[in-house]
Amino acid sequence: MSLLNYENNGSINAWVPRSLIIDGKKVLGLSCNRDGLCPIQIKWVNGKTISIEGINNSVELPLSLLIPRFVEPHAHLDKAFTWNDYPNFKGSYEMALEVNLKEQLTRTEENVRFRAQKALKLALRNGIRAIRTHIDSVGLASDESWEVLGDLKSQWKSLVELQLVALVPLDYWCTEKGKLLATRVVKKDGLLGGVLAPPFDKKKSEESLRKLIQTANQLGCDIDLHIDESQISPGAGLKLLLKVLEEVTSNISITCSHLSSMSLLSRRELIGLADRLAELKIKVVALPLTNAWLLGRDGRGTSVNRPLAPIFYLQKSGVIVGVGGDNVKDPWFPLGGFDPLELMAFSMPLTQLAPWQRLGLAPFTTASADIMDLDWDGTFYEGSPANWIVIEATSWADALSLNPKRKVIVNGYWLNENMIPTG
Ligand SMILES: [Zn+2]
């Protein structure tokens, strides 16, 4: 491995997921190992890949794994790291909401900035290149939160791309304040969000969804909803959304985050809904960690129902599905640290997504890039950006369980502490 520090040129021999290599000399015919990895030599100049060649010599087999920097399609930077002061030892959804609202009353520009910066630094060092964060956008300090996260979005642009989503009760979009918020969101190139989880007033929610989609259409602003994060009334929110979309055509991109209770439907109904989502090009973000922690609790017993977006069925119907980390050390989830390898490892037993399979890796890489509509999808080809993580491991099992050393390459440069904004 030759490293040219402080220059954005270099060459590296590494194992690369075959499913992410689009083009490369002598690579297409190269057999990959049982982990779906190909031994390749990759060279880059001025931050761009100039060549990808397969290594056929068994003496020179690489000692590292090279993967694209990850995409986090669903986070909450404004409340991250609040668990110690606002814990939710009961672990229920209801208690999480109650504690969240108490914590929200203490939010200031300073503490939101501190949390978001801490999150961004961890994300960058751990190998994340883009984050979509939802922001509590009603109540105390919501204006300040938008200011702070808007600042950080510009400041961190070349290191971690931020997308901001306004998280509000759905009916807020029907109010005058909602209209003002929507114009503010547009200025920050953000998305409109909201929560639709049962029990809800069907008529009122239908009206709110209609208004939200109309507003988004007018402003050309995409939507990302927290929908059906629940163990009751399976798929109720999704069915309502699909009903509204029969009347109002959407010309923007819609993401459904969670869709947890969909998995409690019959296979037949579930597949019908998945097909409809695919037809409408609605994308899905599955959030296995928070769902497994908060939902399906039966007193203190271990859950017997595990509401989680039915990833495999959705993918089979052609829906783009990403996996996100959601909450980090806040009342909704006590663990996490903006570490994509940890998310993959935790998610494996919950989702049964295996990184050695194309559709097991995509939710953390290409699908999430698609959901965030990023310029680069995370694949390898001549001209693709040198935006990678180098992991000292030669198999997925080692990469995801032994906490191996990792180095991050940002636009061709090896990440070093001088590149990380202070403050
Ligand atoms: Zn969320």
Ligand 1 mean position to 343 CA, how many Å? 15
pTM tops 0.75: yes
Ligand 1 mean position to 100 CA, how many Å? 12
DSSP category for residue 411: T
Ligand 1 mean position to 285 CA, how many Å? 10
Ligand 1 mean position to 10 CA, how many Å? 38
Ligand 1 mean position to 225 CA, how many Å? 9
Ligand 1 mean position to 359 CA, how many Å? 23
Nearest Cα neighbor of 254 from 210, 313, 315, 213 is: 213
pLDDT at 28: 64
pLDDT tens string 221-280: 999 999 999 999 999 999 999 999 999 999 999 999 999 999 999 999 999 999 999 999
What is the C-alpha to C-alpha distance for residues 342 and 106, in angstroms, rounded to an integer? 30
How far does CA 175 lie from the centroid of its chain? 29
Provide the residue-wise pLDDT of the chain in tens; the chain has 423 residues: 344 445 689 999 999 999 999 876 666 667 789 999 999 999 999 999 999 999 887 778 899 999 999 999 999 999 999 999 999 999 999 999 999 999 999 999 999 999 999 999 999 999 999 999 999 999 888 999 999 999 999 999 999 999 999 999 999 999 999 999 999 999 999 999 999 999 999 999 999 999 999 999 999 999 999 999 999 999 999 999 999 999 999 999 999 999 999 999 999 999 999 999 999 999 999 999 999 999 998 777 777 788 999 999 999 999 999 999 999 999 999 999 999 999 999 999 999 999 999 999 999 999 999 999 999 999 999 999 999 999 999 999 999 999 999 999 999 999 999 999 987
- What DSSP letter does each residue of 191-209 carry, written as one string? EEEEEE-SS--HHHHHHHH
Ligand 1 mean position to 205 CA, how many Å? 19
Ligand 1 mean position to 195 CA, how many Å? 9
pLDDT at 139: 85
Ligand 1 mean position to 77 CA, how many Å? 10
Ligand 1 mean position to 300 CA, how many Å? 24
Ligand 1 mean position to 332 CA, how many Å? 9
Ligand 1 mean position to 23 CA, how many Å? 36
Ligand 1 mean position to 379 CA, how many Å? 27
Cα angle vertex 331, ends 263, 163, to 5°? 75
Distances (CA, A) of 307 to 263, 315, 337: 6, 17, 23
Ligand 1 mean position to 41 CA, how many Å? 39
Ligand 1 mean position to 74 CA, how many Å? 6
Ligand 1 mean position to 5 CA, how many Å? 38
Q: Which amino acid is at 390?
A: V
Ligand 1 mean position to 328 CA, how many Å? 10
What is the C-alpha to C-alpha distance for residues 353 and 347, in angstroms, rounded to an integer? 7
Ligand 1 mean position to 188 CA, how many Å? 20
303 Cβ neighbours under 8 A, 6+ residues apart? 292, 295, 296, 297
10-68+379-419 belongs to CATH 2.30.40.10 = yes
What is the C-alpha to C-alpha distance for residues 97 and 87, in angstroms, rounded to an integer? 11
pLDDT at 4: 44
pLDDT at 326: 98
Ligand 1 mean position to 325 CA, how many Å? 9
Ligand 1 mean position to 227 CA, how many Å? 10
47 token code pair: 């931050």
In 10 A of CB 228, how many CB atoms?
Answer: 30
> Is 191 in contact with 166 (CB distance < 8 Å)?
yes
- What DSSP letter does each residue of 18-79 carry, written as one string? GGGB---BTTTTPPP-TTSEEEEEEEEETTEEEEEEE---GGG--SSEEEEPEEEEEE-TTT
Q: Would you list the domain boundaries of the chain? A: 10-68+379-419, 70-353
Ligand 1 mean position to 15 CA, how many Å? 34
Ligand 1 mean position to 4 CA, how many Å? 40
> Is 291 in contact with 229 (CB distance < 8 Å)?
yes
Tell the burial category of 157 from Cβ atoms under 10 Å away from its Cβ (0-12, 13-18, 19+). Answer: exposed
- What DSSP letter does each residue of 22-38 carry, written as one string? ---BTTTTPPP-TTSEE
What is the C-alpha to C-alpha distance for residues 404 and 64, in angstroms, rounded to an integer? 10
Ligand 1 mean position to 73 CA, how many Å? 10
Class for the domain spanning 70-353: alpha beta
Any bridge partners for residue 258, and if so which?
A: 227
Cα angle vertex 163, ends 79, 6, to 5°? 100
Ligand 1 mean position to 76 CA, how many Å? 6
Ligand 1 mean position to 176 CA, how many Å? 25
Ligand 1 mean position to 194 CA, how many Å? 10
